[in-house]
Structure 1
Amino acid sequence: MSYGRTFPLWRAAAGEHWTAYVEHTFVRRLGDGTLPRAAFLHYLVQDYVFLIHFARAWALAVTKAETLEELRHCAGTVNALVNEELSLHVGICAEAGIPEAALFAAEERPENLAYTRYVLDAGHSGDLLDLLAALAPCVLGYGEIGARLGREPHAETYGGWIGTYAGAEYQALCCEVGALIDGAAARRIGEAPEAAPRWEAVTGRFVRATRLEIGFWDMGLAP
């Protein structure tokens, strides 16, 4: 999936880190159904906590927006995270006897803490493009993972999770985020962003966030 013009450039710059992220053992075992249920639930609890901070980061993006279109997209993403994506985690965990109050109160693992605070710091210290570079590996990486697993033969064990990220609604969101990134890059560093002085620094944010995603999957395998 391309998800715009800027994302493929960032993806290519991440190189082996991107491959290690989207083809992680955790991801492969989600697809073939061999991931232990305890590991999946541990991941979901931590991902719930992650998404709370992720929603806060997108709320910060609202304050960084410079156009009405940017503002509307960022505000809409906050709504989608809080009122839609979190429901996936809440529903699966409820079936396992874990209430939402326990999810919200869960202790944040160090890997989670490092990632979420990195993203928030990118937003506080930079502009919208800096923040989007740190947010993109999660949004678009899950889109790529979901699309691939959805196309391949996969076990039904985690079909609900795969279906969410492979589904038309999430894939449309990824395309919208890709377009948002393209617009933010053009507006802030030019129509040929890869030639801009800031390009290397912004790309570095994307690569670091990708490496933190790898750490998040590693955490998922170590409940």
Structure 2
Amino acid sequence: MFSEELRTQAAPIMTAIHDHAFVRGIADGYVPREALIFYVEQDFQYLSEFIKIYANAITKLTDRNEMKFFADSIDFILNSEIHPHHVFCEVAGVEYERLQHATPTPKAYLYESHMYRAADTGSLLNILAAFQACPWTYNEIAKKQVREKANTNDNPFKSWIDFYDNADDDSEVSLSDKIFEWIDRLAENATTQQRQQAKQFFLKSCELEWQFWEQAYHQEDWRFKDVLNQANTL
């Protein structure tokens, strides 16, 4: 199955994500306050772009069940995925509303551009492959941390872990599993070149997921941010 190829080739990246200091900090119950704030600022902007790309994907569909999938995904981001942001904000002791106006950092900007590039190909296989890294890696993080019994009542990130472990309303089939099944169906009728292109979109998204944790943990911003900000005032 094509989805198994994707998982296998992404395994080294997934291992690096599990071992990242930010992700291990969630399991251990401590992440520096500055890293939490930086993460929420950037993820809020990233998910706002994610919604737009999902909406764009709907225009490429004719099947109403497929349209509903993307519409439900938009609703999930707007009304449910704010919960893990609130968890980080509560631990950091900051109001969520204060963190919703950041400028995307270089890596966040690259990730958003990568997603738009997938959408611009007009290929649903590419779009799903590029999007899949996000739900897949988060679900894998949560499942591993639950297996490790990291979601104890004394862990301030327990609710974050539980959210991504049960991100599909406690269904036996996770959201990422459903997307992988959809990807497999599309891959059956794709050429070798089309599958290779989709694989590149998926693997690069996985790399960018790791980069997202990395930038937040070290607060990696634009080197010449002051110059960029001055340009907005001219």
Greater C-alpha Rg: 2
Aligned: 1:97 with 2:94: yes
Q: Which residue of 2 aligns with 1:78?
A: 74
Task: Find the aligned partners of 2:16 and 2:122 in 1 and give their Cα distance.
Answer: 27
Normalized per residue, the structure richer in helix is 1
Rounded to whole Å, the distance in 1 between the matches of 2:170 and 2:134 is 13
Equivalent residues of 1:55, 1:78 under 8 A apart: yes
In 1, the alpha carbon distance for the partners of 2:207 and 2:48 equals 20
188, 191, 194: which one pairs with 1:190? 188
2:46 matched residue in structure 1 = 50
* Matched letter for residue 95 of structure 2: I
Candidates 7, 22, 26, aligned match of 2:22? 26
The residue aligned with 2:129 is: 133
How far has the Cα of 1:108 moved from its partner? 1.4
Q: Quote the RMSD (CA, aligned, Å).
A: 2.5
- Note the residue ranges of structure 1 that are not aligned, 5 or more in a row: none
| TM-score of the aligned structures, taking structure 2 as reference length | 0.81
1:123 correspondence with 2:119: yes
Of 140, 144, 148, which aligns to 1:148?
144
Equivalent pair of 1:7/1:178 in contact (CA under 8 Å): no
2:174 partner SS: helix
For 2:54 and 2:85, the matched residues in 1 are separated by 19
What secondary structure sits across from 1:105 in the alignment? coil
Q: Secondary structure at the match of 1:35?
A: coil
| Distance change (3 Å), C-alpha of 1:98 and 1:168 | closer
Unmatched 5+ stretches in structure 2: 220-234
Q: Are the counterparts in 2 of residues 129 and 202 from structure 1 also a CA contact under 8 Å? A: yes
Structure 2: how far apart are the matches of 1:64 and 1:212? 25
% same residue:
26
- State the alpha-carbon separation in 2 of the partners of residues 23 and 170 from structure 1: 27
Moved more, 12-21 or 86-95: 86-95
Give TM-score scaled by structure 1 length.
0.84
How much has 1:181 moved relative to structure 2? 4.1
2:174 is aligned to 175
Q: Is the 2:107–2:212 Cα contact (8 Å) retained in structure 1?
A: yes
Q: Secondary structure at the match of 1:221?
A: helix
